[in-house]
Structures are given as C-alpha cells and as structure tokens.
C-alpha cells in the first residue's frame, strides 16, 4: 500500500511541476504578446489558443497533487462529529464516488480526444491539433483517480479497524 501511495504522490508531484511550467509559459506568452502588440503592432498569432489549451492542461495536471496534499475543499462539520471509524467509512464512500465520477470523466475525455484526432480537428487560429491537449487532460484526471483510489483504500482500512 505504501508503494502505491508513494507512486501516486510522486506522479502528482511531477505533474504539478509540469503544471507550474505551463503557468510560466502562459505568463511569458502573454507578456510577449503584449510587448509585440505595443512595440511592433503585431501580436503573437494564436495566443488565445495557446493560453486556453495550456490552462486546461495546467489545471488538470495540478489536480492530483492538490488531492495528495488534501488541498480540496471539504465540508465536514457533520462528519467531524461522528466517531473516527464512521468518519473513515464516509471518507471511503466519498472517495469511491469521486473515483467513479472522475474515472468516467477521464474515460470520456480520452474517447473525445480520439474522435477529435480521427476527425483532424485543429485550433481556430494556430491550426494546432487539439487531441494531444485533450489526452493530457484525460491523463490528469486519471492521475487524480489514482490518488483518490489510494485514499479510499486507506479510509477503508481505517474504517475496518486497521491502520
């Protein structure tokens, strides 16, 4: 179990660093676009496409590490009043529901990317293919599912009286 937890945490950390690089690239692109527009009267073509696609990738890649750190919002004023084992049972149920939801989202995003690839859909201005970005979003959601699954197993062990 510790190896799986370490794998999920390590993968989340790597993906979070890639998301950070996406953010830096977005900032550089926006500043460059503003400077080129002001100084040379020629904006960087496709800036809107690059920024929106990179933002989607950035957010999806950062989700898993946010889950590793328990950085998501949780409203637990009712659950916090329950005994520890019942809290763990509720955590298990919530995490399993989240795995099911985000797993379905990841699967559908991958299917959508496949259909976009087969149809050859490209971004409006920059003419770059959209499917690699959609696959990255699906991968980010799949990594989130891995983290949530590890949390569900840990919660189930606590609920059963283990750990």
Helix residue ranges per DSSP H, the chain = 2-40, 47-68, 84-119, 131-159
How far is Cα 103 from Cα 106, in angstroms, rounded to an integer? 5
Q: What are phi and psi of 122, to 5 degrees?
A: -125, 165
**Dihedral angle sign, alpha carbons of residues 4, 97, 159, 12:** positive
Structure-token pair, residue 123: 């971004």
Cβ 131 vs Cβ 117: under 8 Å: yes
Find the mean pLDDT for residues 112-133: 95
Q: What is the rounded CA–CA span in Å between residue 9 and residue 137?
A: 18
The residue-averaged pLDDT of 135-150 equals 96
User: Over 80: is that where the pLDDT of 75 sits?
Assistant: no
What pLDDT is stored for residue 111 in this prediction? 98
| pLDDT band at residue 163 using 50, 70 and 90 as cut-offs | low
Per the CB < 8 A criterion, the answer to whether 145 and 113 are in contact is no
Average pLDDT over residues 129-152: 96
Cβ-count burial 125-161 (b if 16+ within 10 Å, e if not): eeeeebbebbbbbbbbbbbbbbbbbbbbbbbbebbee
Q: Mean pLDDT across the stretch 80-105?
A: 93
Region 40-55: mean pLDDT is 94
Block residue for tokens 């496949």:
114
- When pLDDT is cut at 50, 70 and 90, the band that residue 77 belongs to is confident
Does 162 score more than 70 pLDDT?
Answer: no
């Amino acid at each position: 179990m510790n190896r799986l937890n370490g794998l999920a945490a390590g993968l989340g950390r790597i993906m979070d660093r890639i998301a950070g690089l996406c953010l830096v690239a977005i900032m550089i692109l926006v500043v460059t676009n503003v400077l080129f527009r002001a100084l040379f009267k020629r904006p960087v073509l496709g800036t809107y496409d690059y920024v929106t696609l990179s933002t989607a990738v950035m957010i999806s890649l950062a989700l898993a590490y946010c889950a590793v750190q328990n950085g998501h919002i949780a409203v637990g004023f009712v659950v916090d009043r329950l005994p520890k084992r019942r809290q763990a049972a509720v955590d298990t149920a919530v995490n399993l529901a989240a795995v099911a939801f985000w797993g379905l989202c990841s699967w559908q995003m991958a299917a959508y990317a496949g259909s976009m690839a087969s149809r050859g859909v490209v971004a409006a201005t920059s003419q770059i293919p959209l499917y690699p970005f959609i696959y990255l979003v699906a991968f980010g959601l799949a990594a989130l599912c891995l983290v949530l699954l590890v949390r569900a197993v840990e919660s189930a062990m606590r609920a059963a009286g283990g750990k």
